[in-house]
A and B are shown apart, each in its own frame.
Chain A
Amino acid sequence: MTAHSPLAIEANGLVKSFGETLAVDGVDLAVPSNSVYGMLGPNGAGKTTVIRMLATLIRPDAGSARVLGHDIVKEADAVRSAVSLTGQLASVDEDLTGRENLILLGRLLGLKRAAAKERSAELLEAFGLSEAATRLVKNYSGGIRRRLDIAASIVVTPKLMFLDEPTTGLDPRSRNQVWGIIRALVEAGTTILLCTQYLEEADQLADGIAVIDHGKVIAEGTPGQLKASVGSGALHVRLLDPDQRPQAERVLQQGLGDVNLATDPAALWASCSDADRAAETLAELTRVGVRIADFSLDQPSLDEVFLALTGHPAEEVSAGQPNALEEEQTA
């Protein structure tokens, strides 16, 4: 990460309520330039509201924020000139074609007619949308629509992009394509604030993550730090000979602490997030003559991070989003 670069987003104590609902309750953020920063949280956590404040769509009730050095209230126009927003609802015009959408935005951003047309052709090509260009957006599939949405956000290159749940509802292939585009944007030097409820997405894309729940940031760090703070990885071992399990149990006990016996009479596991300790323990098993059929060292998933931090699971996650980390653990 670029520790010396100035902050792209600096928020202090942002608060926003809608009537009785306190949607955002004192959020601080520090997002370095040229990075992807993930805001991770379940439905209703307040992610979209934070983005809408930072993108100058709504004013905070309290607190302040600077985006690319500009105050979001006093210098809203300067902020708007440097950012682009891909909202949670598709922020393209359903009643127009893909090409018309891009030309529309080009013209609104100050491109001359010919330049706007040229730019739309370039983006349609780059985003694999040439075939869909002349169809109405309301007839697009979710994946194509999202790509158009992101293309629309870079008609004129923003310094900072807000991406609100860019892959919600997409199939794995479309999701991977969107991830590829996001990585390309980052390589080209765009800072991205990414909202997601998918733990895997934050893990895959973000350099830094703020976990947000009930309008508050409840944890912050790199994906690795967040996982380490929970430290609930585990070393799973399966033996060739179930009779050796008591012996193996003693070794694991000494090396790692609490040991759990699995229902499989040949298997056992212990909490461990330190790979070196795991390796030493495995070596010790071999040294005392316990024969190992296989073993695995699981990193904690962000699901567990979430559970540990909030005391409740991130809903939604089980609903359709494949999570590789999760699958390993059910072994």
Chain B
Amino acid sequence: MSINPTTQAAPSPAADEAAVRKAISSISRPPKASALSAALTFGWRGMLKVKHVPEQLLDVTITPVMFVLMFTYLFGGAIAGSTGEYLDYILPGILVMSVLFTTVYSGVALNTDLTKGVVDRFRSLPIWRPAPLVGSLLGDSVRYVLAGTVIIVLGVILGYRPGAGIGGAIAALALVVLFSFALSWVFTTLGLLLRSPNAVMNAGFMGIFPLTFLSNVFVDPRTLPPVLEAFVDVNPISILATASRGLMEGNAEAGDIAIVLTVAVALTAVFAPLTTRLYRKG
């Protein structure tokens, strides 16, 4: 340890027992934190982690950029004839896909968190049970918003012009983020059931890849064989993509939005309590 050059006494590195005694008796127990305040505090925890390790935002910024460039220039010409037209079709789809992929990481992060002792402390606190989970998903939602914003901005740079303007883009982003929040409960459940972060990642992508590719995100379902077309048409991810396109173009159907919201509520209603139960049990 280096010697403090100033004349003031260096702060003692040891605990001051008298001060400890004073500290322990100088506080009385405040009323319990409200559910909202506890959840927001956990959201703040998520933000702090991003602040300390900003690199972890790479996956929500670089990946979407790669997707946009790859699908626009690599496949665009082949699938839709021209990159410009395809961008109009694909951009809302890429928005949906990129943000949905990010939800898998919520489960991975929870699984990683569980191996740490701090979870035991959280579990032993007198707080609203789901607060740590709701809070970290709120924090993750900020990541979803970021990923979505990157895609929309990049799309605009490449020549995409949403028919409903900036308002339409924000509405579409809001719908996608809301759905992702609901979907991430599925992955947090997986995160609690599986043994390792890798297992969660594999299982998560094994589920979300086929669902995303068997949707209308990339291709017009009318070009598909009938069986696949039928599946693609009822796939909630297709409906989400259609609704997002509609919101961006200003011709969204209320029915599609209603279905997306219903699925989101249903996912949350099933998987949020399940996750909370599993988290409690440890």
On whether the two chains bind one another, the answer is yes
Residues of chain A whose beta carbon lies under 8 Å from any beta carbon of chain B: 52, 55-58, 77, 80-81, 83-85, 87-97, 100, 104-105, 107-112, 115, 119, 122-123, 125-128, 130-131, 136, 147, 152, 154-157, 177, 180-181, 183-185, 187-190
Q: How far is the CA of A95 from the CA of B51 in the complex (A)?
A: 10
Q: Is the CB of A80 within 8 A of B26?
A: no
User: Mask for B114-147, Cβ within 8 A of A = 1, else 0?
Assistant: 0011101111111100010000000000000000
Q: Is the CB of A127 within 8 A of B15?
A: yes
B61 CB-CB contact with A under 8 Å: no
Q: Residue B33 contacts which of A56, A88, A108, A180 (CB distance < 8 angstroms)?
A: A108
Q: Is the CB of A110 within 8 A of B30?
A: yes
Q: Residue A87 contacts which of B24, B37, B44, B120 (CB distance < 8 angstroms)?
A: B120
Q: Is the CB of B117 within 8 A of A91?
A: yes
* B: interface residue count bin: 35 or more
Q: Is the CB of B33 within 8 A of A154?
A: no
B161 CB-CB contact with A under 8 Å: no
How near does chain B come to A71, taking the closest CB pair, in angstroms?
Answer: 15
How many pairs, one residue from A and one from B, have CB atoms within 8 Å of each other in the complex?
A: 146
Residue of B nearest to A107 (CB): B41
How near does chain A come to B269, taking the closest CB pair, in angstroms?
Answer: 24
Residue of B nearest to A96 (CB): B48
**Residues of B close to A183: CB separation below 8 A:** 17
| The 9 residue pairs across chains A and B that have the minimum distance between CB atoms | A89-B117, A126-B19, A91-B121, A110-B30, A81-B126, A80-B126, A188-B24, A184-B20, A91-B117
Q: Is the CB of B30 within 8 A of A126?
A: no
Q: Is the CB of A156 within 8 A of B15?
A: no
Q: How far is the CA of A105 from the CA of B126 in the complex (A)?
A: 11
**Residues of A close to B37: CB separation below 8 A:** 107
Q: Is the CB of B23 within 8 A of A107?
A: no
Residue of A nearest to B135 (CB): A108
Q: Is the CB of A130 within 8 A of B126?
A: no
Q: Is the CB of A108 within 8 A of B38?
A: yes
Q: Is the CB of A181 within 8 A of B53?
A: no
**Residues of A close to B49: CB separation below 8 A:** 95-96
**Residues of A close to B32: CB separation below 8 A:** 81, 109-110
**Residues of B close to A110: CB separation below 8 A:** 29-33
Q: Is the CB of B124 within 8 A of A57?
A: yes
Residue of B nearest to A131 (CB): B11
Q: Residue B22 contacts which of A52, A112, A126, A152 (CB distance < 8 angstroms)?
A: A126
Q: Is the CB of B124 within 8 A of A55?
A: yes
Q: How far is the CA of A88 from the CA of B119 in the complex (A)?
A: 12
Residue of B nearest to A92 (CB): B118
User: Mask for B1-33, Cβ within 8 A of A = 1, else 0?
Assistant: 000000000011111111111111111111111
How near does chain B come to A250, taking the closest CB pair, in angstroms?
Answer: 52
**Residues of A close to B33: CB separation below 8 A:** 107-110
How near does chain B come to A157, taking the closest CB pair, in angstroms?
Answer: 5
Q: Which of B45, B121, B131 is packed against the most chain A CB atoms within 10 Å? A: B121
**Residues of B close to A88: CB separation below 8 A:** 117
A57-B124, A89-B120 are known contacts. Are A187 and B53 too (CB-CB below 8 A)?
Answer: no
Q: Is the CB of A154 within 8 A of B123?
A: no
Q: Is the CB of A187 within 8 A of B21?
A: yes
B81 CB-CB contact with A under 8 Å: no
B54 CB-CB contact with A under 8 Å: no
B226 CB-CB contact with A under 8 Å: no
What are 18 inter-chain pairs, A to B, with CB distance below 8 A? Answer: A52-B282, A80-B125, A80-B126, A84-B124, A87-B117, A89-B120, A93-B45, A104-B41, A109-B29, A110-B33, A115-B30, A126-B20, A154-B24, A157-B28, A177-B14, A184-B20, A185-B20, A188-B25
**Residues of B close to A84: CB separation below 8 A:** 124
How near does chain A come to B122, taking the closest CB pair, in angstroms?
Answer: 8
**Residues of B close to A188: CB separation below 8 A:** 20-21, 24-25
How near does chain B come to A79, taking the closest CB pair, in angstroms?
Answer: 9
Q: Is the CB of B15 within 8 A of A122?
A: no
**Residues of A close to B45: CB separation below 8 A:** 93, 96, 104
Q: Is the CB of B13 within 8 A of A131?
A: yes
Q: Which of B41, B53, B120, B123 is packed against the most chain A CB atoms within 10 Å? A: B120
Q: Is the CB of A111 within 8 A of B30?
A: yes
A108-B127, A119-B27 are known contacts. Are A85 and B52 too (CB-CB below 8 A)?
Answer: no
Q: How far is the CA of A86 from the CA of B271 in the complex (A)?
A: 30
Q: Is the CB of B120 within 8 A of A128?
A: no
Q: Is the CB of B23 within 8 A of A122?
A: yes
Q: Which of B15, B22, B31, B45 is packed against the most chain A CB atoms within 10 Å? A: B15
User: Mask for B215-245, Cβ within 8 A of A = 1, else 0?
Assistant: 0000000000000000000000000000000
Q: Is the CB of B124 within 8 A of A157?
A: no
Q: How far is the CA of A59 from the CA of B281 in the complex (A)?
A: 8
A104-B45, A108-B33, A154-B24 are known contacts. Are A126 and B38 too (CB-CB below 8 A)?
Answer: no
Q: How far is the CA of A110 from the CA of B126 in the complex (A)?
A: 10
Q: Is the CB of B124 within 8 A of A58?
A: no
Q: Is the CB of A126 within 8 A of B29?
A: no
Residue of B nearest to A126 (CB): B19
**Residues of B close to A156: CB separation below 8 A:** 27, 29-30
